[in-house]
Homo-oligomer: A and B are copies of this chain.
């Protein structure tokens, strides 16, 4: 896979997460992701693999990633000063434009990531939508502020509604389309709750070796075709396709 060295335009804390911006003028679809790593050209062994991140936003000139520092890869990215290395935008993003009414965007934890960009796109298309975000606690308030229209739920009730992201949603049947991103367990719960809603798209999360279909590492179970690669056929899947 080809990696592109890009300038870091900014790294800042957003609540407990990190927002990193870099110039990218090519096309990106909401829901697509990039494989990214701190600079180490031609390659670094520490860590060895690049990491997948959804695009948080893209205005045509600047792309941004929102991530949680978990291990070595995200730690080095959070400390990046001059350049990082990114792949081209990968995977299949959200299908938009088929809604015939209000849409609901459900983000769990750092699963909020793709929704800044999706929300921007839906605004452009004039699609009415609500954003509901679920967090563990208020440590992520900074992110919520970046979604002024969003309803927020926290597990400990320290911000917004106490409970899960689904607890904060009123009647799901009001919506003609649901978009969800978060831990796979949350996605499974959304899928169950969204039963009957035709357009329910889930952005799944699997460990990735390559991001371009080569390793077969990132598969998810589908009803019709067994295990398929989420980096090529996803990361966004129609809920009904998944054998969850």
The contact size tier of chain A is: under 10
A-B contact pairs, 5 of them (CB 8 A): A40-B46, A44-B46, A45-B45, A45-B46, A46-B46
Which 5 A-B pairs give the minimum distances between C-beta atoms? Answer: A46-B46, A45-B46, A45-B45, A44-B46, A40-B46
Query: What is the minimal beta-carbon distance from A138 to any residue of chain B, in angstroms?
Result: 31
* Chain A interface residues (CB < 8 Å from chain B): 40, 44-46
| Chain B residues within an 8 Å CB radius of A46 | 40, 44-46
CA distance A183 to B40 in the complex (A): 31
Chain copies in the assembly? Answer: 2
Per the bound structure, the CA–CA distance linking A45 and B49 in Å amounts to 13
Residues of B within 8 A of A40 (CB): 46
Q: Could you tell me the distance in whole angstroms from the C-beta of A110 to the nearest C-beta in chain B?
A: 26
Instruction: Tell me, in angstroms, the Cα distance from A44 to B40 when the chains sit together.
Output: 13
Which residues of chain B are within 8 angstroms of A45 by Cβ–Cβ distance? 45-46
